[in-house]
Each structure stands twice: as structure tokens, then as C-alpha cells.
Amino acid sequence: MEHPFGIDFGGTGIKGAPVDLEVGDFAHDRIRIDTPRPATPQAVAEVFGQIIDSFPASTRPVGVTVPGIVRRGVVHSAANIDKSWIGEDADAIFTAALGREVHVVNDADAAGLAEAEYGAAKGRGGLVMVITLGTGIGSAMIWDGQLVPNSEMGHLELDGAVAEATTATSAREREGLSWEEWSERLTAYFRHLERLFSPDLFVIGGGVSKSWDKFGHLIKAETEMVPATLQNRAGIVGAALVAHRMAGIED
């Protein structure tokens, strides 16, 4: 059986696998290749081709996460990738390079969709905010299962600074903050989101979610808050789901 393909394109590595959307997991073990330097669209497309060619031939669509703002397939920001991406129609570039339908999505949005469809937010209605804590802060807003794209909540101003500069996992590590000290900052951040959006659920992702038992109970927010469950599979699974939906395939 053919499956849609998901690719998670990051600043250091590019990972991909076909995804079984019935269960929300990889249909085969993923493959990872280092991100090329410089990570131009053309160089990255070559790596995508290598990854896809490692699996049985397929005509199913491909979904690709990008660490930047994506509107209708065009990339509008490039914080951790080559600036040549800005203004490029990535959907068109990769569709031509790979010879199959490709759809690009913001990386946090892809992870959020995966958590809503298969993970910690499965079956939850209302407004779900998936917040990923890592080098920066990524976000996805899901309203009754529908994505509100490019929310970029890590860029909110908080106490006179960009939130992710003081509150991301990287800030905790850089400043040597204890879990308690970091959680005070997280509390201020999540209370700010509550005032702005009144969400029904927060899902906390990123690698640090594995340490949820060390800090989750220390965050003093009114909204229900749970750790993400798909871990590092979320980007690939979400990208494949986006490609499947955009292609309008009926199984």
C-alpha cells in the first residue's frame, strides 16, 4: 500500500518517512541526512530526493515542514535556514524537483496538526494551542480540528523582550535556570496567552516535554495543560497529513 510521505526539514537535519495515516505513525523507519550548507532550496531539494529514493517508488504526495512562515506554499521568513528561501514558492520548486505533488507547511503547525489528529489533543474541541519549547518557541492554533496557520507565538513581546529569547528551552540552558526558575517564566508566558486567546487546552511539545514531570506541575496557569505524545514523529506525521488533505485524496 502506498502512503503519503512526510519530511521534517530542520536547521541541522532532514528526516523523512512514509506515514500510515490510519494510525498516525511511520509506515517504514525514517531516514535522516544532515542539512546541507548552505541550505538553499535547490540543495535541500536534492536531499529530499535522496531520502524519497530510499523508499519504494510512489506517486503519493509529499508534505514538508519548514522552519518559517508559509502562505500558500510561499516561504516568508527564514530564521534558521538560508535567506534565499524568502519569497520562494517552495511548493512549486519541490513539486518540479521531485516529480510528485509537494506541499510545504510551517514546522510547528505540522506538529500541532499531528497532536490534534493522533496525539495529546485527539478528540478535543474548541481552541487547542500546541506550544513547542526548544531553541525557540513554536506554536500551532487548532480550532475544532482546523489549523489557524503561522501563529508564531514565540515572537510575542513579554516584559519588554521577545518571549522565546527569555522563555525557550535554550534560555533555560543558556542561563543555567533551575526548573523552578524557568517555570516562573513559563507561567508568565502562558498566562499572557490565556489573556489573549482563552484557550481550552495547551499541549506542550519539544524535546523538553520528555521532562514534563520535572516542570509541568510548576506552571501556574488556569488552562488545562498536557505534554505532547508524538515526540519527534510529530513533524513528519503532520507534514504527511497536510499533503494528503491538500491533495484531496479519498481512500
pLDDT at 78: 79
Tell me whether residue 211 is in a domain. Answer: yes
Same domain, 219 and 237: no
User: With 70 as the cut, is the pLDDT of residue 250 above it?
Assistant: no
In this structure, are 95 and 129 located in the same domain? no
The predicted-structure confidence for 58-92, as pLDDT tens digits, reads as follows: 889 999 999 889 999 999 987 767 889 999 999 99
End-to-end C-alpha distance for the chain, whole angstroms: 11
Contact 17, 5 (CB under 8 A): yes
Is residue 146 classed as helix, strand or coil in its secondary structure? strand
| 40 and 82 Cβ atoms separated by less than 8 Å | yes
Using pLDDT thresholds of 50, 70 and 90, give the confidence band for residue 198.
very high
Residues 111, 19: Cα–Cα separation, whole Å: 14
**Residues paired with residue 20 on neighbouring β-strands, in sequence order:** 25
Q: Please tell me whether residues 11 and 98 are part of one structural domain.
A: yes
Is 85 a member of any domain?
yes
pLDDT at position 109 is 95
Q: Mark whether 97 and 129 lie in a shared domain.
A: no
pLDDT, tens digit, for every residue of 93-148?
999 999 999 999 999 999 999 999 999 999 999 999 999 999 899 999 999 989 99
CA distances from 97 to 44, 47, 48, 126 (A): 10, 11, 9, 39
Same domain, 15 and 100: yes
Domain count within the chain: 2
Contact 41, 26 (CB under 8 A): no
User: Which pLDDT value is given to residue 226?
Assistant: 97
In terms of pLDDT, which residue wins out, 11 or 66?
Answer: 66
Predicted pLDDT of residue 249: 55
Does 115 map to a domain?
no
119 part of a folded domain? no
Q: Do 60 and 142 have their domain in common?
A: no
Range(s) of the domain holding residue 213:
124-229
> Rounded to 10 degrees, what is the CA torsion of 204, 205, 210, 212?
-10
- For residue 218, the domain's CATH number is 3.30.420.40
Q: Within a domain: residue 213?
A: yes
Domain contains 114: no
In a domain, 98, yes or no: yes
pLDDT for position 251: 46
Q: Cβ neighbours of residue 160 under 8 Å, at least 6 residues apart?
A: none
Q: Is the pLDDT of residue 1 over 90?
A: no
Asked if residue 118 is part of any domain, the answer here is: no
Same domain, 46 and 34: yes
Residues 91 and 11 in one domain: yes
Residue type (1 letter), 214? K
Residues near 134 by Cβ (< 8 Å), separated by ≥ 6?
A: 168, 169, 170, 206, 207, 208
Residue 117 confidence (pLDDT):
96
Q: How far apart are CA 128 and CA 227, in angstroms?
A: 13
Q: Do 74 and 150 fall into the same domain?
A: no
- The rounded percent of the chain whose pLDDT value lies above 90 is 84
A 10 A CB-CB count for 72 gives: 8
| pLDDT beyond 50 at 153 | yes
Query: 60 and 147 in one domain?
Result: no
Predicted confidence at residue 145, as pLDDT, reads 87
Residues 180 and 214 in one domain: yes
User: Do residue 147 and residue 90 come from a single domain?
Assistant: no
Tens-place pLDDT, residues 17-59: 999 999 999 999 999 999 999 889 999 999 999 999 999 888 8
